[in-house]
A and B are shown apart, each in its own frame.
Chain A
Amino acid sequence: MSDDRELVRQRARSEEHAALFEAPDDIDAINRLYRDRGWSDGLPVVPPTVERVERMLAHTRRAPGEIVARIAPGFGAASVEHIAINAVLAGCDPEYLPVVIAAVEAAAAPEFNLQGIQATTNPAAVWIVVNGPVAGRLGVNGGINCLGQGAWANATIGRALRLILQNVGGALPGGMDRATQGQPGKYTFCCAENEEANPWEPLHVERGYRRDCSTVTVVGAEGTLNMNTHTKDPGELLRVVAETMVHPPSNEYCHGGEPWLVISPEHADILKAGGLTKAEVKRRLWEQSRMPARRMTARDLLRAQASRGKELGEIGPDTLLSISRRPEDICIVVAGGPGTHSVYVPCFGNSRAVTHEIAESD
C-alpha cells in the first residue's frame, strides 16, 4: 500500500476536475492501486490515461468541468470529466459517453431517489434501458441474451454508471452502500429495448419522446425473475405473470411501487394477437396481481399501513393490495430473442424510473 502511494503524485485537484496522478507503466501495479484505494468494483480496470479520457471527451460538446449532477449519498460532483474517467475505467468505447452522461442525469433526478437506492439494505441496482437509434448504432443489445454477458456496450455502460455511483457518489459496500447482500446487477445492468420486435409503441415513445429520439431510462431494480411458459393463450399468459408478481415480502406491495416486466417478443406477439394494447395488459396485470394483505407478515402489514395509508385508508387483513398505485405504473419493455421466457423485475418501491434524452455530439 505504502509503495503504491509512493508511485502516485497528485498534481491538481478541484471539484470539477479530477486529480492527476503519475502511475507506473504497469497494468498490474495500476490495478493494485485501484484495488487498494477502493476505486474499482472488484474487477480490473482500464487505466484512465489523459489520452484515453480526452478521446472519450471528444464525444460530447459539454465542457469537461461542467457538473452534470451531484451523486448521493456522498453528493460528490459528477463533472463531465469525472464521468469520462469512470467510463474509461469501465472499458467504454468513447462513443458511449453521451449514454453514460444521460444515465447519470436520469439517476440524479429527485424522483429516482438515488439516496435511497444507494444507501439501502435492499439489493437495488440501477438498470439502464436504452431506446432509440443510438442503441443500434452503439450495439446495445436488446435481443438474444440482452440481460446476460457478451455485448460490450451493455457490459461497459452499466459498469460505468456503477463506478460513478461508487467513486463519485461514495457508495462503497460496507461504507455508505448498506446492501445486505446486493445482487449481480450491481456490477452492470444495461440493455436496449428490442424495438423491431415490439408490437406496441417503444418505451421512450410511451414516455413522451419521439421515436427517432434516443433515451436512457433508469430503474431501481431488485433483480430478475424468469418466467417460462409455453402457453399461446393471452389470458393464461397474463394470469401466470400476475401470479409471479405476487410475493408477500415485497417492497412494491408495501409502498405501492413500480414493477417492471421484460416481455419476450414471442409473448408480446401472443398478447398483441389477442387484441391487447400495452395499456390493457397493464390494467389486467394490475387487477390480477392484487394480493390480500393477510399474506404479508403482521409487521409488514403495519409498514404498508404507514406507507400507503393516505392512498388506501385503513389496511386490514382482507384489503386487496395492488402492486402499484395505478395500472400505468406497471412498466413494460419488450426485449430478448426467440424463446418463451419473460422476466419480472421487482423494484425498490420508493423510486420512480426516469427517462432522459441522450444528447449525441454528432
Chain B
Amino acid sequence: MEVAKRGRAALTICSTAFTTLGRAQASALGDPALPIAVVAHPFGLRSREEVREMARQCVTDIVALITGRGCDER
C-alpha cells in the first residue's frame, strides 16, 4: 500500500482464507479498492503441477488487475 501511495501499480496476493483480512485491512488503511489477487486455500495437498497451474492463473489475474486499474486511474 505504501508503494501504491507513491503512484506505482501495486497489489496484494492472498489465499481465499485471508481475503476477508486483506480486504478489511486495505479498507482500514485507506485503500478499499486495493487490487487483491486471490489463490485457492490451502496449497498443502496439491501436486506440484497443480501449484504451477495456480501460479500461472495467478499471474494472469495479476496482469488483469494491474492493467485494468493502472496507477493513473488511482
Query: Which chain A residues have a beta carbon within 8 Å of chain B's beta carbons?
Result: 73-76, 119, 121, 170, 174-176, 178, 299
Contact = CB atoms under 8 A, between A and B. Distances in A.
A75 B28 CA distance: 7
24 contacts: A73-B21, A73-B24, A73-B25, A73-B28, A74-B25, A74-B28, A75-B28, A75-B29, A76-B28, A119-B18, A119-B21, A119-B25, A170-B24, A170-B28, A175-B20, A175-B21, A175-B24, A176-B20, A176-B21, A176-B24, A176-B25, A178-B18, A178-B21, A299-B44
Contacts of B20: 174-176
B23 to A, nearest CB: 10
A121 B28 CA distance: 20
Given A74-B25, A176-B25, 5 more contacts: A75-B28, A75-B29, A119-B18, A174-B20, A176-B24
Contacts of A74: 24-25, 28
Interface of B: 17-18, 20-21, 24-25, 28-29, 44
**Interface of A: prevailing SS:** loop
Contacts of A299: 44
Contacts, number: 28
Contacts of A76: 28
Contacts of A174: 20
A170 B27 CA distance: 11
B24 to A, nearest CB: 5
A74 B28 CA distance: 5
A75 B27 CA distance: 10
A339 to B, nearest CB: 41
Nearest to A172: B24
A73 B20 CA distance: 12
Contacts of A75: 28-29
A299 B29 CA distance: 34
Nearest to B21: A176
A75 B17 CA distance: 21
Contacts of A73: 21, 24-25, 28
B1 to A, nearest CB: 11
B24 A178 contact: no
A178 B28 contact: no
B42 to A, nearest CB: 10
Contacts of A175: 20-21, 24
A73 B22 CA distance: 10
Nearest to B29: A75
A182 to B, nearest CB: 15
Given A74-B24, A170-B24, A178 B29 contact: no
A299 B42 CA distance: 14
Contacts of B25: 73-74, 119, 176
A119 B22 CA distance: 10
A80 B47 CA distance: 51
B41 to A, nearest CB: 10
Contacts of B44: 299
A74 B29 CA distance: 7
